[in-house]
Structure 1
Amino acid sequence: MLLRTLTALVFFGFPAHADVWSFGTPSGNIECIVGEGFNGSDIECTIYKRNQRAKVSALAACPTSRGITFFMQERGGVQGACTAPGARAIGTQRVAEYNVEGKFGGFTCYSATSGLQCRNLDGHGFHLSRNNQQVF
């Protein structure tokens, strides 16, 4: 995807000029990659350690020993996948402190001790925490 400069990155304190960047929660258990291009923005977030099975029927069979990744664009629904055993991203660039909401690209995300919730322009989104992985 051809990428262009992100317009609003105040929320997580990211550099003003970025095409693809990442952030994670303070626990290090959730990592996200965000990109913005000519066709809009997208976000992909992965939770690595989970205590319960996902509340998404298509992912309910994913063992708790594996992570779950949710992907969405700024418009449309959410897609999910069970991660490969031992899969881990290369590490995040920034930390989204708890109790902070951010708006960037076509998304609004809220980081809290209860988990990370992200929503797109259509109101679709996901919630990730050790005890709850769901889409809406």
Structure 2
Amino acid sequence: MLRSLPPAALFLLTLAATSHAQSAPTGFQSPSKNVACQYFDYDKQNVLRCDISVMESRPRRPADCELDYGGAFEMNAKGAAARICHGDTVMDKSLPVLGYGEVWQRGGFTCKSEQTGITCFNTDRRGFSLARAKREIF
């Protein structure tokens, strides 16, 4: 026969489950808060996604994209980077700021913050540079 938990124990179990499910995102934002990047580990496949909110110009949305396009970039730890069609964002004010001149590294990715923008690349040295005036995939 199961006995019920005291209210305090039930509260602590609920709090522990909630805090585990809502762990802080891994990544950073630029000092201007115009670029945010988050790191994800999907079944042992590392992914870095960076979003830029303010751009001087936006590319034309492809016909096969019914969502937002132009401000989100993604790459795996190996292979090419890409601009993606997306319906969400990784912009998060709780992300720490990566100061100008600082470098962030995780899971095969390296990103550098400069006054001219954020540049990120993977182990294959493929990646992107994001700035208000220009976005570039290399």
Pair in the same fold by TM > 0.5: yes
Contact 2:37 2:90 in 1 (8 A): no
Find the partner of 2:32 among 27, 41, 47. 27
Partner of 2:123: 121
Contact 1:107 1:118 in 2 (8 A): yes
C-alpha distance 35-19 of structure 1, shift in aligned 2 (>3 A): farther
Alignment RMSD: 2.6
- Tell me the matched-pair count: 109
Partner of 1:6: none
Partner of 2:45: 40
Identity of aligned residues (%): 28
SS at match of 2:26: strand
Q: Could you tell me the TM-score, scaled by structure 1's length?
A: 0.68
Partner of 1:68: 71
Structure with larger RCO (C-alpha < 8 A, sep 6+): 1
Q: Max radius of gyration: which structure?
A: 2
Contact 1:19 1:35 in 2 (8 A): no
Return structure 1 stretches of 4+ with deviation > 6 angstroms. Answer: none
- Higher helix proportion, which one? 2
Q: Could you tell me the TM-score, scaled by structure 2's length?
A: 0.67
SS at match of 1:94: coil
SS at match of 1:95: coil
Contact 2:35 2:91 in 1 (8 A): no
Q: CA deviation at 1:21?
A: 1.1
